[in-house]
Structure 1
Amino acid sequence: MPAVCATPVTLAASDRHRLKKMAYGHKTPYRDRQRATIVLAAARGHSNSQIADQTRMHLDTVRLWRGRFAAGGLEALADRKRSGRPTRFTAVQAAEVKALACQLPAETGAPLSRWSCPELAREAVARGIAESISASTVRRWLAADALKPWQYRSWIFIRDPDFQAKADHVLGLYAGTWAGEPLGPDEYVICADEKTSIQARCRCHPTLAPGQARAMRVNHEYNRGGAVAYLCAYDVHQARVFGRCEATTGIVPFMALVDQVMTQEPYASAKRVFWVVDNGSSHRGKASIDRLAKAYPNAVLVHTPVHASWLNQAEIFFSIVQRKVVAPNDFTDLDQIRDRLQAFEARYNATAQPFQWKFTTTDLEDLLARLDRREQEEHSLRHQESSLSLAA
């Protein structure tokens, strides 16, 4: 019988480059590397038997992948789709489990706060959705729709009736306007707030510096050395910080912070100095507005909406202080905390740049519109559910 000639293989430059990456890549799967090696050897004119000897693969395997590449190119080197094991569960069963995951456990009578995959699998069996089902199957179904019922996020609904008006004032000040008029060069915007209870935790063993393949180590045990409150005033457009430490928060410590700022230039002789504060007890209500105006006629107190302290840029500075100064907390006494905070203020003011505040009044209007639509949809859904329950 005449000898059967091997299928000839001719490579384009681009195909050769991709095959070489597959054959010599460290992260290439083993089967792809072997198939690329077969094709490259075939392109160099080697016979199937020679390639089988070189790669230590069966002759039929070499013949198979050589022929597939000659017929279909690079795409033919991938595995063909296989039917696989017959599915045990129907699409309806998967949908019922997903619907169960989208319900609160309390609504189903389960004594749980959140669903987990094992609990969902157990509940699905108890409800007769499936005779048996594994947690991994439930996890795979939920992953297909990016459902994670074991996670949760806290939120708070807007309950300040003047939320938009108050937020507009604050955002306008950040943008350099007040009541629709641009601020003058002798008008300033200051955000003020308090960071309460910075504790002096003296570790029982010294903190170890980081080393090769080792993070900094902080001893878990500590002795309490008291706590101090840190009050801060941040000039929004000048990126300048004024801070002080007090034993506690309150009206007197806050007014001391105001005195510290308003008795120095350029604020003492400024036309207006706007103080943006939250609704804490140290500066709450109209009484605080009158108190500040009486002490300094050129000072204007502006409150953020209730539960909207995120509009206060002093919170951003406090997050920096927490990351760079306070944590991990390892102070011998309160004096060390005061000295560290004071030194950090000087260091920060030397290189600080104003925060790039990007949330504008337009963004606020879009946010409130989305919340209104969501509230209307939830109200409509509750009304439909009530109507269906009455009809039943």
Structure 2
Amino acid sequence: MQVAEAKALACQLPAETGIPLSRWSCPELASELTARGITDSISASTVRRWLREDALKPWQYRSWIFIRDPDFRARAQRVLDLYARTFEGVPLGEDEYVLSSDEKTSIQARCRCHPALAPGQTRAMRVNHEYGRGGALAYLVADDVHRAEIHGRCEPTTGIVPFMALVEQVMTQEPYAGARRVFWIVDNGSSHRGRRSIDRMAARFPNAVLVHTPVHASWLNQIEIFFSIVQRKVVSPNDFTDLAEVRERLRGFEDHCNATAQPFQWRFTTSDLDNLLARLDRHTPADRQGESSVTPAAAEH
């Protein structure tokens, strides 16, 4: 009985029980069980052992977002089809390409007050906590999904003009300049949002087709995987003398990727999409029909 009541309490939000906490921890659950008279005395380790039986971890949390795009299914399928080299039910030709593009904003140059120390035996790399600010830049990238080729540029900020500069950089070189069609997958950021952005790109490059992910579904854009790699392998820990060094590091990493990288092994298909939406519909309250929660798709590098 005590075990059942402990698990039931762990499955309630603390605030709903009058406890001024955001999440339960095992010591706090043990204290509350004693305060309620459910147990005379109990240790946090015992509570943890009870919760482990049902894989309960109330101290953890995950965030999600409800689908608000009425065309979510159609937009998502169009992106996933392009990853599978299909558009509107027709396989892409050898002279058609798919690019995944976005901007990584506010990459700072933090000049540490003391030089970083290289790792050694039993010692991790050490980076001084204090730093001076050397400014920030935006990193705009287009990734050729099937050729694993990165095209990037650094700009002082994001916006329509910097994004179109990236488009100009890519679309004026081969094989894209002479391609039948080049699909650009982007999210709904202000630099490339809406019908105007589609028309703007088509007017400048008639063979360029801008394809938007659904609203709040940037996880469908493969470029986010590349940016996560850049954050882990290039930017962190941030120790740059100035922005020129940041630019040089990013350019060097592009060259490294273009020489060694393979296409991402994208595993989320339209069948997975249908299964996800069906599962979410079963758990969506009646007053939220038409909306669903979304979790990121899985991909491997």
TM-score by structure 1 length? 0.71
Question: For 1:107 and 1:235, how far apart are their aligned partners in 2?
Answer: 49
Aligned partner of 1:126 among 35, 38, 41:
35
What code does the residue aligned with 1:295 have?
Answer: R
Please give the secondary structure, in 1, of the residue aligned with 2:196.
Answer: helix
What code does the residue aligned with 2:237 have?
Answer: P
**Which residue of the partner structure matches residue 184 of structure 1?**
93
**Which residue of the partner structure matches residue 154 of structure 2?**
245
Question: For 2:139 and 2:45, how far apart are their aligned partners in 1?
Answer: 49
Please give the secondary structure, in 1, of the residue aligned with 2:183.
Answer: strand
Question: Per-residue displacement from partner, 1:310-357 (whole Å, max 9, x unpaired)?
Answer: 111111111221122111111000011111111221121112211111
Cα shift at 1:144 = 2.0
Question: Per-residue displacement from partner, 1:261-294 (whole Å, max 9, x unpaired)?
Answer: 0111111111111000001110111111111111
The number of aligned residues is: 288
The answer on 1:136 being equivalent to 2:45 is: yes
**Which residue of the partner structure matches residue 115 of structure 2?**
206
Aligned partner of 1:157 among 66, 72, 75:
66
The answer on 1:234 being equivalent to 2:150 is: no
Question: For 2:275 and 2:287, how far apart are their aligned partners in 1?
Answer: 18
What code does the residue aligned with 1:244 have?
Answer: R
**Which residue of the partner structure matches residue 348 of structure 1?**
257
Cα shift at 1:135 = 2.6
Please give the secondary structure, in 1, of the residue aligned with 2:210.
Answer: strand
Cα shift at 1:244 = 0.3
What code does the residue aligned with 1:358 have?
Answer: R
Question: For 1:159 and 1:97, how far apart are their aligned partners in 2?
Answer: 37
Change (3 A) 1:253 1:172: same
**Which residue of the partner structure matches residue 166 of structure 1?**
75
Please give the secondary structure, in 1, of the residue aligned with 2:67.
Answer: coil
Change (3 A) 1:374 1:275: same
What code does the residue aligned with 1:120 have?
Answer: L
Question: For 2:143 and 2:186, how far apart are their aligned partners in 1?
Answer: 11
Aligned partner of 1:175 among 72, 76, 84:
84
- Note the 1:29-108 alignment, pairs <5 A: 92-108=1-17
Question: For 1:329 and 1:267, how far apart are their aligned partners in 2?
Answer: 34
The answer on 1:335 being equivalent to 2:240 is: no
The answer on 1:358 being equivalent to 2:267 is: yes
Cα shift at 1:219 = 1.1
What code does the residue aligned with 1:296 have?
Answer: F
Question: For 1:190 and 1:119, how far apart are their aligned partners in 2?
Answer: 50
Question: Per-residue displacement from partner, 1:222-245 (whole Å, max 9, x unpaired)?
Answer: 111000100000111111111000
What code does the residue aligned with 1:202 have?
Answer: C
What code does the residue aligned with 1:113 have?
Answer: S
Please give the secondary structure, in 1, of the residue aligned with 2:273.
Answer: helix
What code does the residue aligned with 2:2 have?
Answer: Q
**Which residue of the partner structure matches residue 20 of structure 1?**
none
Q: Which has the higher contact order (CA 8 A, sep 6+)?
A: 2
Please give the secondary structure, in 2, of the residue aligned with 1:253.
Answer: helix
Question: For 2:51 and 2:287, how far apart are their aligned partners in 1?
Answer: 24
Please give the secondary structure, in 1, of the residue aligned with 2:132.
Answer: strand
TM-score by structure 2 length? 0.92
**Which residue of the partner structure matches residue 194 of structure 1?**
103
Question: For 2:75 and 2:286, how far apart are their aligned partners in 1?
Answer: 26
Aligned partner of 2:233 among 304, 321, 324:
324
Question: For 1:356 and 1:97, how far apart are their aligned partners in 2?
Answer: 43
What code does the residue aligned with 1:208 have?
Answer: L
CA RMSD of aligned residues (A): 1.5
State percent identity of aligned pairs.
77
Question: For 2:286 and 2:45, how far apart are their aligned partners in 1?
Answer: 34
Please give the secondary structure, in 2, of the residue aligned with 1:191.
Answer: strand
What stretches of structure 1 of length at least 5 have no aligned partner?
1-91, 380-392
**Which residue of the partner structure matches residue 313 of structure 1?**
222
**Which residue of the partner structure matches residue 280 of structure 2?**
371
What code does the residue aligned with 2:263 have?
Answer: P
Please give the secondary structure, in 1, of the residue aligned with 2:49.
Answer: helix
Cα shift at 1:157 = 2.0
Question: For 2:130 and 2:97, how far apart are their aligned partners in 1?
Answer: 45
What code does the residue aligned with 1:188 have?
Answer: Y
**Which residue of the partner structure matches residue 297 of structure 2?**
none
Cα shift at 1:304 = 0.5
What code does the residue aligned with 1:259 have?
Answer: E
Change (3 A) 1:378 1:140: farther
Aligned partner of 1:272 among 176, 181, 186:
181
What code does the residue aligned with 2:38 have?
Answer: I
